Amino acid sequence: MDEEPIFKISKYKIAENDLPAFHRIEEAHVTNSIPAEPGTLMIANGHEGVSGVTNYDIELYRNSKAFDIHSMSDYFDAYDNAVEKMAKEKKIWDLKSEWMTTKSKEALDSYADNFVIRFAKVELKKGKHDKFARIVKKEMRNSMAKEPGVEILFAGSNVGNPDEWLFFEVYANNDAYNKHVNTPWFGEYIDDSKNIVENKELHDIVRDTMAVQGPIVME
């Protein structure tokens, strides 16, 4: 990547009666972006829970110019307007890209119907960003290299608070996820970081739409 990438994760609460319309606009936003915009590296949307009112948007752009091009599109305007109109609650994290890897687009497509997706937020003790980065990047490097079922690992630290990290992780299926959390390198990550982690959230996400230029590699 030629410049600092733009990495955003957004969380929206959408009323149930607005969900069908929201998902139609959401799908158009995602599926139109990747073919037309080489600098839009990935956009994914998913929801949490049976009701589906809690929605997540994950975006990765090659650089600020790529994001500017995307933000001038009609489909982005439609999506942005839908969020403004329909979202009862909204939270957007602007993130520093710490780790970005995906398998090939073909590999992702072959597993798409069975994806297991996790969104995680980790809050560290003050000033522990660099130590945590070394620990988690070692775990991610092993996971991508040694686990065929690990499809996407994204990690970013909050631009406004480097001790807050967000993760977007995609696994081929439940078996791949269960194997992952029982690997030696995942256990080592848990042990090595337990004294510097203040709080941790883990959310199960159901995929709605996802488009990737792929493969993406940024360590």
Helix (H) or strand (E) holding 85: helix 74-86
The mean pLDDT of 116-142, rounded to a whole number, is: 97
Question: What is the band of 1 on the pLDDT scale with cuts at 50, 70, 90?
Answer: very low
Question: What is the rounded distance in angstroms from the CA atom of residue 206 to the CA atom of residue 200?
Answer: 20
CA 197-199-205 angle, 5° bins = 115
Count of residues in the chain = 219
What is the tens place of the pLDDT at every residue in 192-212?
999 999 999 999 999 999 999
pLDDT at residue 43 greater than cutoff 70: yes
Q: Which residue is associated with the tokens 């590296």?
A: 41
pLDDT at residue 179 greater than cutoff 60: yes
What is the tens place of the pLDDT at every residue in 130-164?
999 999 999 999 999 999 999 999 999 999 999 99
Q: How far is CA 190 from the centre of its chain?
A: 21
